[in-house]
């Protein structure tokens, strides 16, 4: 069985990748901001809404843990989303003290807009590469996303 040996990157490589990722993430932030602007959402609210859309019936604590934010911060985000009629708070029968969060119809549309903008940013980035490079970028990005560090 072949095993690849991990090598420590040079400072120059780290600096190059840092600059590349700054530009890379800026494109995603711009795309995300454009989609969120249509719904007047900040980045936290947009990510909160996407999580709730993917996990209907989840609780505030579930979202806070996933996004790694304080409960008070998450409560404020949920309040904003409820006021904008993007999220509904329900009361589960088994625990009337907790809230079960679900996206409203308008919330689901906002999620679709957010995902469409994100996909368009990916499409734009992939367009700048030839097919072999596209496959390699996807392969490497998936490898990095699966690694624990």
Q: Is the pTM of this model over 0.85?
A: no
pLDDT confidence of residue 119: 87
Q: For the chain (length 149 residues), average pLDDT per consecutive 10?
A: 68 88 78 66 90 96 96 96 95 70 96 86 88 93 79
Q: Where are the domains of the chain?
A: 30-146
CA–CA dist 9, 114 (Å, integer):
35
Q: Which fold, 30-146?
A: Arc Repressor Mutant, subunit A (1.10.10)
pLDDT confidence of residue 4: 58
Residue 43 backbone dihedrals phi, psi, to 5 degrees:
-60, -40
Residue 7 backbone dihedrals phi, psi, to 5 degrees:
-115, 145
The runs of H, that is alpha helices, within 1-149 are 11-38, 43-54, 60-67, 71-83, 105-127, 131-146
pLDDT confidence of residue 93: 64
């Amino acid at each position: 069985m072949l095993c690849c040996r991990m090598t420590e990157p040079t400072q120059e490589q780290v600096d190059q990748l840092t600059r590349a990722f700054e530009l890379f993430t800026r494109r995603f932030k711009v795309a995300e901001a454009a989609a969120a602007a249509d719904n007047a959402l900040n980045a936290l609210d947009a990510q909160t809404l996407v999580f709730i859309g993917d996990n209907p019936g989840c609780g505030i604590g579930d979202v806070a843990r996933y996004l790694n934010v304080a409960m008070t911060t998450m409560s404020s985000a949920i309040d904003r989303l409820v006021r904008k009629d993007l999220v509904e708070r329900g009361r589960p029968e088994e625990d009337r003290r907790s809230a079960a969060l679900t996206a409203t119809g308008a919330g689901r549309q906002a999620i679709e807009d957010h995902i469409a903008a994100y996909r368009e940013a990916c499409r734009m980035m992939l367009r700048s590469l030839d097919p072999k490079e596209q496959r390699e970028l996807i392969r490497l990005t998936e490898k990095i996303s699966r690694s624990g560090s």
